[in-house]
């Protein structure tokens, strides 16, 4: 595809606007921060709830304006919001978590790709970032897996308690027999 000389200015404006959105998106997704001084990003922090340690931080700490979502992100806005809210909450609860550290130090860039080569390069960076995260944090775990682990842990704890109780009962019987 060739760009006509009269369209160069339009394409340049679109690329620059896309770069601004990508920069905001990058900080939002990987760092959980929204530093949009002009209030043009489709997600905004709600200052009244940013200091809260209650459920209101999660439920009301950020607002999503669907009318400001760029066309190329339509349908992804809720996932983008949840992703960054999760990172922001993790940073509040455990700022030294490996995912927080890697997100701030070595995440890949979010950019508009105009060629297949740049898209392939970006995809390779994404795979490397994912591999780094998995190496530092382990494999992803679903809520149901965590609940199953909790049930197994609870079962193991009950088994240990039962064995201790049986051992204590045996010891008590042996003391009674020795009297």
Task: Count how many domains the chain has.
Answer: 2
Residues 133 and 160 reside in one and the same domain? no
Residues 131 and 147 reside in one and the same domain? no
With 80 as the cut, is the pLDDT of residue 69 above it?
yes
Residues 104 and 156 reside in one and the same domain? no
Residues 44 and 123 reside in one and the same domain? yes
The C-alpha atoms of residue 140 and residue 149 are separated, in whole angstroms, by 14
Residues 19 and 96 reside in one and the same domain? yes
Residues 150 and 118 reside in one and the same domain? no
Residues 34 and 63 reside in one and the same domain? yes
Reported confidence tier of residue 2, pLDDT bands at 50, 70, 90:
low
pLDDT tens-digit map of 108-162: 778 777 788 988 998 998 898 888 888 888 887 777 777 777 777 777 778 888 8
Q: What is the pLDDT of residue 78?
A: 93
Residues 155 and 128 reside in one and the same domain? no
Q: Taking the model in full, what pTM does it have? A: 0.65
Residues 28 and 71 reside in one and the same domain? yes
With 70 as the cut, is the pLDDT of residue 74 above it?
yes
* Range of the structural domain that residue 176 is part of: 142-179
Residues 122 and 157 reside in one and the same domain? no
Residues 35 and 114 reside in one and the same domain? yes
Q: What's the chain's average pLDDT?
A: 81
Residues 160 and 79 reside in one and the same domain? no
């Amino acid at each position: 595809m060739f760009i006509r000389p009269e369209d160069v200015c339009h394409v340049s404006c679109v690329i620059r606007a896309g770069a601004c959105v990508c920069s905001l998106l990058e900080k939002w997704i990987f760092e959980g921060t929204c530093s949009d001084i002009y209030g043009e990003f489709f997600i905004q922090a709600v200052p009244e709830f940013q200091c809260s340690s209650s459920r209101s931080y999660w439920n009301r700490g950020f607002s999503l304006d669907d009318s400001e979502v760029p066309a190329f992100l339509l349908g992804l806005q809720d996932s983008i919001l949840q992703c960054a809210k999760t990172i922001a909450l993790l940073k509040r609860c455990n700022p030294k978590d490996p995912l927080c550290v890697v997100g701030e130090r070595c995440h890949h860039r979010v950019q508009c790709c105009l060629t297949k080569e740049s898209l392939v390069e970006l995809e390779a960076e994404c795979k490397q970032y994912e591999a780094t995260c998995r190496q530092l944090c382990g494999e992803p775990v679903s809520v149901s897996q965590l609940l199953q682990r909790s049930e197994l842990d609870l079962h193991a704890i009950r088994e240990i308690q039962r064995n201790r109780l049986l051992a204590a009962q045996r010891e008590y019987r042996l003391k009674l027999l020795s009297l």
